[in-house]
Amino acid sequence: MQTPAKPMLWMMAAMALSAAPAVQAQTAYAPTQVGVDAGSVTTIGHWQIQDSAKAQQTGAEISSTGFPTTDWYPATGRATVMAALLENHTFKNDVFYSDNLRAVQVPEASGNLFVTPWWYRTEFALPKDSAGRHTLLRTNGIIASADVWVNGHQVADHAELAGAYPVHELDVTRWVHAGANILALRVHPADPRQSLSIGWVDWNPTPPDNNMGPWRGVDVMQTGPVQLSAPQVASTLSLPDLSRATLTVKVDAKNLDTVAHDATITGTVAGVPLQQTVHLAPGQTQVVAFATGTTPGLALDHPKIWWPAGMGGQPLYTLEMRAAVDGATSDRATATFGIRSVTSRLTSQGYRQFFINGKPLLIRGAGWAPDMFLRDDPARMEAEFSYVLNLGLNTIRSEGKLENPRFYELADRYGVLILAGWECCDKWESAAKTGGAPWTDADMNVAKDSMASEARLLRNHPSVIGFLIGSDNAPPPPIAKMYADTLRAADWSLPIIAAAVPQGTADTGPSGLKMAGPYDWIPPAYWYADKLGGAFGFDSEVSAGADIPRLEDVERMLSPQEQEALWKYPEARQYHASADWSTFAVLTPFDKALAQRYGAPTSLADYVAKAQLDNYDNVRAQFEAFNARMDAAKPATGVIYWMLNNAWPSLHWHLYDYYMNPAGAYFGAKKANEQVHIQYSYDSRNIVLVNHGLDDMHGLQATLRVRNLDGSVRYEKRLQGIDLAGNHTRQLATLPAIGNLSPTYFVELDLAASDGQPVSRNVYWLSTRADVLDWANSNWYLTPLTQYGDLTALRSLPEAASEVHASTRHEGHEDVTTVTLSVPASSRAVALFQHVSIRRGARGELALPIRWTDNDITLWPGESMTLTARYASQGTADPVVEVSGWNVQSQSVPASATQGTDH
């Protein structure tokens, strides 16, 4: 649809490049210093890169000492081409703002920056005493493929090094020497329609370079004649008592020499010593295994058990191994693992249910999106895991976009389950689609290498609970068999799932998952229906679509014209909703519902405020509906919110936005996923208690109120001495039919411990006019309505008073701000949906990322609530707390620091 404009877009891209400051060659870069010890692994820390259309020399020349790199771009070690260009501030305009990305997103234009290979060049220095050692290059995945030169010699070509995920090791000993060495990669253009790389679909624009580059990095390894690789620990746990675990340890030992060697393999695992001597012929690889038959200590009594967050702790064990030849250390290998049991089975309705350490659990997760340009940001990744924990989720689904090792290490440490799998669409599923191109033998080899590499990466991580070998389609039989065989050859013990849709394969059986939508707006009551995406079975990806960021983020991602269109023109296409002109490029269903239920927006600020109410309400209902049925006769076993986060600033599908600024969707999810929670059921008016922990609760107290719009209490009930079993729900009460309700009314629920301490508070704004779904006209992404609920009376709420008191203390590297919100008894109205933000000083930036105990809260006159926020300490200015609300005048108060702890 954009074809006539593409030449002009290419000119814009060229102008953007030409207008940018010239890049000065980083000739002063010191070579990466390779470790001295046998077994050292050194990651290439930086590159210089250039388009081969400009650098037209041969690989032999470019990988030679003294080759001039004037005007090449410096890049970090894991940078794709676009990531490197962004690092160098190459583009004149912010590619995340408005539709600026269009200027470089021209994959078919003549003269495109990204249709020719790009060179990656670096230097690494080997220690002087490396004689007798083997030097290996390990490529951890290159998009789409690469030729490799070392010191003027080609050591691999792109037929060997293809695919985003295969790990390859190249023995380059004959071509390297002590001191500085030159490594050059010629990275070939990527096209996810033609290669098994990484693609993007309707929820994100396609990066202009298709992510070409060594995105997972390249390592230089030093080893003696015998190399150790792929260490693994498998554990078998006694159920249900968890009192014993049996470990099996394996490692690959490879003789890199042309003569035979005897190697002694020693090590420790969970404090148990290991030792075995093996004879290796020239070039031979042998799996060295340790089991209880030869090492009785591998039968552990009372092991430390790894649990998902909220169900227990996350203790981790280590495996350390050493290979010695003729008494000298030849290589080392380590691994971290946890002891736990993961199983799954199909319910009587045919849906998959997971068990951790013998306990069933409701999978409550969301879909992961990496950075659009696959940029490596350890601090951001850790902050995102802290958000997952703060949200009360227990699972992340990775549909393709599989991450680097740090992601899984964080998941292990935080107790977040990972449901990994291949992505939909593009080449990965072309062979499964009607009319799709069949895979070649080369494709099969890349897919097999990808599966084997991912199995080796994932199998030791206790956080990983399964692998989906298909997403929107199950693989054809030959591919499904190859995947299953490859996983099992790698000692994969976890569930292998055919797809995220209700399909199966001969090798995996039925998937037990459903993917019936919605992906666009539906009302909260939808989730309680026994149809389509309602709360039953295992929903692999689902949500009500649009998630509108807070106003400050809308203003920094959209142009003034786009901002105006957002609230005025529901049929207008928004580049930040879907850049590929898909169904989701317009927010029409969401906008129509917002206007019908809350009233037509009168400004951008009004639109965003109403969107926060809707997002909170809808996301909360989605998770709560699955909560309510987690131990029902027809259980809900899993729900994956589509999605957790965004790869770039977006108006769709996230629980927190690209700027990591928590908004309505975030706090709706956080509320629903409280460890112990009180909730209202839209279908039955039941009040349900939920306990996601394993410990029983006793002596709980609950207060239920139904209020009219003016705050008058139309119904109240107090309950005491409530017991709630661990990992279960309990129906507490059913709200009766109540006469003389205002057209918009409230349900206020409070749950407290036996000593009166607050446990859960939940407030709903409801309409006496029902949302009526038109099920007969459902499609794959939404169910339309014949009638909308009426919440427009919320606009008539009088202004409410709110008092704010705040203070800040320091704890280690964090500031902890405590905010108490109080509504005076003399106030005229409920203070609806009060949102608290923190700035670093009176005019400073928002403190982000930030973790709140609660937010977006509603209080009536005479009520108060204390919230706590944690965020990184930065600067010396006192934090300033900003409070806004639906009908509360915005105010700012200082949160001055008090004496704290530094530990």
What are the residue numbers of the active site? 472, 541
Q: Tell me the β-bridge partners of 74.
A: 48
* Residue partners of 412: CB distance under 8 A and separation at least 6: 306, 314, 316, 336, 338, 461, 462, 463
User: What would the two tokens of residue 123 be?
Assistant: 């230097």
User: What would the two tokens of residue 835 be?
Assistant: 């949102």
DSSP 797-855: PPPB--EEEEEEEEETTEEEEEEEEE--TT-SS-EEEEEEEEEESTT--B--SEEES--
User: What would the two tokens of residue 874 be?
Assistant: 């930065």
> How far is 737 from 541, CA to CA, in rounded Å?
35
Q: Give the helix/strand (H/E) hosting 477.
A: helix 477-489
Decide if 658 contacts 554 (C-beta within 8 A): no
3-class DSSP string for 381-396: HHHHHHHHHHHCCCEE
SS3 content of the chain, % helix, strand, coil (to 5): 20, 35, 45
**SS3 state of residue 218:** strand
> How far is 653 from 611, CA to CA, in rounded Å?
13
Decide if 329 contacts 226 (C-beta within 8 A): no
User: What would the two tokens of residue 15 be?
Assistant: 């102008």
Token match 């309510």: residue?
Answer: 628
> How far is 371 from 368, CA to CA, in rounded Å?
10
Decide if 596 contacts 788 (C-beta within 8 A): yes
What b-and-e string marks burial along 123-137, b requiring 16 or more CB atoms within 10 Å of the CB?
Answer: bbbbbeebeebbbbb
User: What would the two tokens of residue 20 be?
Assistant: 């940018």
841: alpha, beta or left, given left = phi > 0 and alpha = psi -120 to 50?
Answer: left
- The angle subtended at Cα 249 by Cα 248 and Cα 253, nearest 5°, is 145
Amino acid, res. 2: Q
> How far is 255 from 247, CA to CA, in rounded Å?
26
> How far is 32 from 218, CA to CA, in rounded Å?
12
Decide if 727 contacts 361 (C-beta within 8 A): yes
Q: Would you call 186 exposed, middle or buried from its count of C-beta atoms within 10 A (0-12, 13-18, 19+)?
A: buried
Pairing verdict, β 864-872 and 850-852: antiparallel
687: alpha, beta or left, given left = phi > 0 and alpha = psi -120 to 50?
Answer: beta
DSSP 892-903: EEE--EEEEE--
CA distances (Å), 544 to each of 273, 513, 536, 762, 823, in order?
Answer: 54, 19, 17, 21, 33
**SS3 state of residue 715:** strand
DSSP 227-277: EEEEEEEEEEE-TTT--EEEEEEEEEEEE-SSS-EEEEEEEEETTEEEEEE
> How far is 745 from 680, CA to CA, in rounded Å?
14
In sign, the C-alpha dihedral spanning 603, 604, 608, 611 is positive
Could you give the angle at which helices 588-598 and 604-628 cross, rounded to 10 degrees? 100
